[in-house]
Each structure stands twice: as structure tokens, then as C-alpha cells.
């Protein structure tokens, strides 16, 4: 493998989806890292903890000595083997630690002794994170944004992906943004969400033109939108997506019933998957019981339970249409109509999916 220099070209790393190897401890990686990054730690959490205590009490030299004692023999061989696999699979990649210092240099040294030269990211995680924070701030401040809004069930995310320059906030947050929005896989950490958002913004800004986003509240599940972005979104032009009620019911049933039961069964198996899906659906309804009111919540829960019983017995999910229709017309639509009344001056177009896509295409050529 030919020698490549260490890099501080952070923009190119993210724009080109360059694979990165994070040699920080797992606990650091779990707090947040970057897209296209694999954790291959120099030290595990316990080893890092012990070395950290030693550093505070006895200084750097003793801490380094302890680290070499803890990561030796078979443990050292296993970690070098993991780094070699990454390097051979990703010859264009780079490694990093927190500041691009001791851990990165030691990883490089041990890889070199094993016959592989592999470059690092100068400044490490801290510099990469700072670059993304500054990049996101700059784009939010200077960029142009168009927002796709519409009643629940109009399929805003589907239309978003047909726009010229979209960023899917719900996709980045791995959550659909409502009480029913939880996915079968966990949401990213807040830092992971922010980093992924910054990378998406960087790529979108390179394309030029307006960036299209779906209308979201401050929180998408437990991932918080940056305040500056939320403020820009709250004043940006609105494209209102409209669909008939029957189509909205079908979309909600597909997204939250048919797709979710399939996802739970793929993850957990047939029987456990069904029970976990059932719990997901009922729990989502229970989370809004105060806003629904006791009587309405109890009625909708009975309808939902009957639909689940029918689906379990026959495989037919259309029994869910009744509670979906009621929830849309009696709960979500009144909330949306009130919110939209506060935004009427921002609307630039309204219509079905084709109308919005055509409007965006014309705006690109104007």
C-alpha cells in the first residue's frame, strides 16, 4: 500500500464519503461520530478509564506505560488485525482519534510495524466536528430553503424525495416525527444526527439552488433540530401537499401498519414481531391519550384492538382504516388547519404530488 499523507481536507472527506476509522473508545463513539465511520478502538472503555486516572495522578509517561501494558499480546494483535482489515478494505480511508494526537499516532505506528502505512485526519474528531458545526451554521444562515407542508398522511416524505435538492430530516433522525413515528431501529444520538445533517447540508449546498425540507417541529422524535435552522424553516416559502382523505388513509396504513409489522417480524421473528408491533401501535395511541380525551382515546383503542385481532386472524390490515380516519379528521386535521392559518402568507403553491414536483422543476429553470 503506497504512502498517502495525513489530511486536513475535511470538506473533501465528507463530500466524497471517504471511509473513516475512529480509534476512540466505544463510549466516545457512542456519543457521536460521523457518517461512513467504523469504530476500531485502540483501547476499550475500561482500559481508557484506567489510563485516564493514571494520567491525572502520575502524568503522561506513566499513562502511556500503563496503556502498553493493558493493550499487549493477543489483545494488541486482535486490534491490529481489525485495523489491517479496515485499511485493506478501504485503501482510500483515514483514521482519527479525538485530537489527532497520541492515539492516532500510536495506531499508525503499530500498523506500520505490521506492514501497513495508513494516514490520519489532522486534528481528529474535534477538528472534524468543528468543521461540521461551522459548515451547518454557514449554510443555514446563507442558504435558501423551501418547505413541503401538508396534512398528516399526504405523503410529504415521498414527494420530498422527488424534489431537485432534498434533505430528509426524518430519515436522518430515523423517526417519522409523530407519536407513531418510532422505527424498529434506534434513533441516532443527537451528535450523530447533527453531524449527518451537516454533511447532508454540505452536499446539498454544493448542488446549488433551494434546499427542500419537510415541515417539522423542533423535535423529530428525540433528535432536536438546530434552533437557527428551525427559525429559517419557520419563515421559508411553503409548498402545500394535498391529497383526498381516502389516499391519506391508505398512506398511513401502509407506513404505520403494513410496513411496520413487516419490519418488526423481520427483526424479531413471526410471533415476537407481531406482539412487538401490536405494542408499538397501542403505545403510540396511548401517548396522545390526554390530548385525545379519555372517551375518544378509549373508543379509538377499542377500534384499534379489533383491527389488530382481525389482522392477526386474516392478515387483512384494512380494519385499521376506521381509527386512522377518525384520528386524521378529528385530531390531526384541526391541529394542522390552525397551524396553517398562521402561515398563509408564506404559501407559494398548493396541489397534488405532481403539481409540487412540476412547480419545483419550473423554479429550477426560472
List, for residues 311-348, the tens digit of each pLDDT value: 999 999 999 999 999 999 999 999 898 888 888 789 99
**pLDDT per residue over 134-158, tens digit each?**
999 999 999 999 999 999 999 999 9
The predicted-structure confidence for 59-88, as pLDDT tens digits, reads as follows 877 877 887 888 888 999 999 999 999 999
What pLDDT sits at residue 54? 84
20 vs 23: CA distance, rounded Å: 10
Question: What are the C-alpha distances in Å from 314 to residues 250, 260, 267?
Answer: 18, 17, 22
Q: Across residues 4-28, what is the average pLDDT?
A: 97
- The C-alpha atoms of residue 323 and residue 219 are separated, in whole angstroms, by 25
Look up cell 384499534; give the residue: 304
Q: What is the pLDDT of residue 48?
A: 85
Whether residue 223 lies in the annotated active site? no
pLDDT, average across residues 159-184: 95
Q: Which of 130-134, 190-194, 288-292 has the lowest mean pLDDT?
A: 288-292
pLDDT at 7 over 90: yes
Q: What is the reported pLDDT for 34? A: 98
**Interval 38-53 mean pLDDT:** 90
CA distance 340 to 149: 9
Mean pLDDT computed over 260-282:
97
Question: Is residue 354 pLDDT above 60, yes or no?
Answer: yes
Burial 60-76 (b: 16+ CB within 10 A, else e): eeebeebbeebbeeeee
For residue 186, what pLDDT is reported?
A: 96
Distance CA 243, CA 240 (A): 10
- C-alpha to C-alpha distance for 21 and 96, rounded to whole angstroms: 6
Asked whether the predicted pLDDT for residue 49 surpasses 80, the reply is yes
Distance CA 77, CA 114 (A): 10
The pLDDT value given to residue 178: 86
Per-residue pLDDT, averaged over 251-272, amounts to 97
Taking 60 as the threshold, does the pLDDT of residue 304 lie above it?
A: yes
pTM score, whole prediction:
0.93
Residue 358: the pLDDT is: 96
Residue of 25, 97, 238, 251 marked catalytic? 97
Instruction: With CA atoms as reference, report the closest residue to 237 among 335, 363, 366, 365.
Output: 363
Say if residue 211's pLDDT is above 80: yes
Q: What percentage of residues in the chain have a pLDDT greater than 90?
A: 83
27 Cβ neighbours under 8 A, 6+ residues apart = 45, 48
Lookup: cell for 205: 449546498
Q: For residue 2, is pLDDT > 80?
A: no
pLDDT for 366: 65
Condensed to tens digits (0 to 9), the pLDDT of residues 86-112 reads 999 999 999 999 998 888 999 999 999
pLDDT category at 201 given cuts 50, 70, 90 is very high
Q: How far is CA 85 from CA 14, 22, 80, in A?
A: 22, 14, 9
Residue 363: all three cell numbers together:
423554479
pLDDT at 341: 82
- Residue 327 CA to residue 287 CA, distance in Å, equals 13
Scan for cell 392559518, then name that residue. Answer: 341
Amino acid at each position: 500500500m503506497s504512502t498517502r499523507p495525513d489530511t486536513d481536507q475535511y470538506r473533501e472527506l465528507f463530500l466524497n464519503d471517504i471511509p473513516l476509522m475512529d480509534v476512540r473508545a466505544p463510549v466516545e463513539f457512542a456519543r457521536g461520530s460521523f457518517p461512513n465511520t467504523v469504530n476500531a478502538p485502540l483501547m476499550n472503555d475500561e482500559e481508557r478509564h484506567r489510563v485516564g486516572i493514571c494520567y491525572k495522578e502520575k502524568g503522561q509517561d506513566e499513562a502511556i506505560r500503563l496503556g502498553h501494558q493493558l493493550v499487549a499480546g493477543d489483545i494488541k494483535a486482535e486490534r491490529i488485525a481489525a485495523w489491517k482489515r479496515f485499511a485493506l478494505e478501504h485503501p482510500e480511508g483515514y483514521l482519527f482519534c479525538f485530537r489527532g494526537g497520541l492515539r492516532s499516532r500510536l495506531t499508525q505506528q503499530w500498523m506500520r510495524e505490521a506492514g501497513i502505512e495508513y494516514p490520519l485526519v489532522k486534528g481528529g474528531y474535534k477538528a472534524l466536528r468543528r468543521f461540521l458545526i461551522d459548515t451547518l451554521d454557514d449554510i443555514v444562515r446563507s442558504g435558501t430553503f423551501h418547505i413541503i407542508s401538508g396534512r398528516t398522511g399526504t405523503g410529504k416524505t415521498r414527494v420530498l424525495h422527488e424534489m431537485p435538492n432534498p434533505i430528509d430530516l426524518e430519515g436522518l433522525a430515523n423517526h417519522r416525527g409523530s407519536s407513531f413515528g418510532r422505527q424498529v431501529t434506534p434513533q441516532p444520538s443527537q451528535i450523530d444526527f447533527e453531524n449527518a445533517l451537516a454533511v447532508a447540508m454540505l452536499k446539498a449546498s454544493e448542488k446549488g439552488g433551494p434546499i427542500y425540507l419537510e415541515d417539522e417541529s423542533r423535535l423529530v422524535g428525540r433528535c432536536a433540530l438546530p434552533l437557527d435552522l428551525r427559525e429559517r424553516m419557520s419563515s421559508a416559502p411553503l409548498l402545500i401537499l394535498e391529497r383526498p382523505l381516502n389516499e391519506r388513509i391508505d398512506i398511513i396504513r401502509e407506513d404505520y401498519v403494513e410496513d411496520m409489522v413487516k419490519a418488526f417480524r423481520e427483526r424479531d421473528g413471526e410471533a415476537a414481531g407481531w406482539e412487538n408491533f401490536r405494542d408499538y401501535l397501542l403505545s403510540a395511541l396511548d401517548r396522545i391519550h390526554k390530548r385525545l380525551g379519555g372517551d375518544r382515546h378509549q373508543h379509538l383503542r377499542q377500534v384499534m384492538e379489533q383491527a389488530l385481532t382481525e389482522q392477526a386472524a386474516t392478515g387483512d390490515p384494512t380494519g385499521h382504516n376506521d381509527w386512522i380516519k377518525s384520528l386524521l379528521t378529528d385530531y390531526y386535521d384541526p391541529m394542522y388547519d390552525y397551524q396553517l392559518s398562521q402561515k398563509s402568507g408564506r404559501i407559494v403553491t398548493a396541489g397534488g404530488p405532481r403539481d409540487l414536483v412540476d412547480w419545483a422543476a419550473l423554479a429550477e429553470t426560472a
